[in-house]
Amino acid sequence: MKAVLRWLGLVVFALVALQLFFVVRIAAMAAIDPESTSFQRSEAWTQVASTGRVRWRQQWVPYTDISDNLKRAVIAAEDDSFVTHDGVDWNAIEKAWERNAKAEAQASKSQARAPDRPVRAPKIRGGSTITQQLAKNLLLSGERTLLRKGQEFVLTLLLEQLLSKQRILEIYLNSVEWGEGVFGAEAAAQHYFRKSASRLSATEAARLAVMLPAPKRFEKTPGSAYLAGRTRSIAGRMGSTELP
């Protein structure tokens, strides 16, 4: 029994120590720009394993040097209640669950009507906020487990408590992936439009924002009808988007 309690104590101590480590790292980000994220390092290792080299374009720019158009576009496309929520948008999560349930029900009906025909698996939609995306990409691995999701939730709350909304958005825009080896707003603006992130027009910003869910795929299909239509939709919503 003593051995079991000792092991439980060690596990609890390790978990507490890990959370304190995250607290210190996040608190430091209030003043220190992170050099890289866990996601970026994972992508770099993948590139080395497959090609033997690393393609990495990133240039950190301060919040004031990023076009308000891009800030509005990203919030409109990814998290339209970013300024008001506490890190988790429960309404968006509820709507995502409802959409997923309907998609799965529709797939089941299609399979029942034609059991011999393959049915495409429904696309699972999430309700992740910008803060949740940052927590995941900044400090966590890409594995999909309940434990990792729980840690993501804790980190999301820590980010919201220790950093301002403006700083969260600044770190996100400087580190998010926008193509193969293209990270951050400045690299994306230079890569796609040959201009600085501070000079992006509303349409250019909307186009970049639309790419975020699948940047590598959209990078290869710049003439996509979906990309064009979604860009117009986001551009039309940017005027009512609130900035931190």
Count the Cβ atoms, other than its own, within 10 Å of residue 101: 11
Report d(CA 184, CA 1) in Å as an integer.
Answer: 52
| Helix segments in the chain, DSSP class H | 2-28, 38-51, 68-78, 90-113, 130-139, 146-162, 165-175, 185-193, 202-211, 215-220, 225-237
List per-residue pLDDT tens for the chain, 244 residues long: 777 677 777 777 788 787 888 889 999 999 999 989 999 999 988 888 888 888 899 999 999 999 999 999 999 999 999 999 988 877 766 665 556 555 455 645 555 555 555 545 444 445 689 999 999 999 887 677 777 888 899 999 999 999 999 999 999 999 999 999 999 999 999 999 999 999 999 999 999 999 999 999 999 988 889 999 999 999 999 999 999 9
Report d(CA 237, CA 125) in Å as an integer.
Answer: 21
| Beta-bridge mates of residue 182 | 57, 179
pTM for the predicted model, two decimal places: 0.84
Written as six digits, the tokens of 128 are: 């992740």
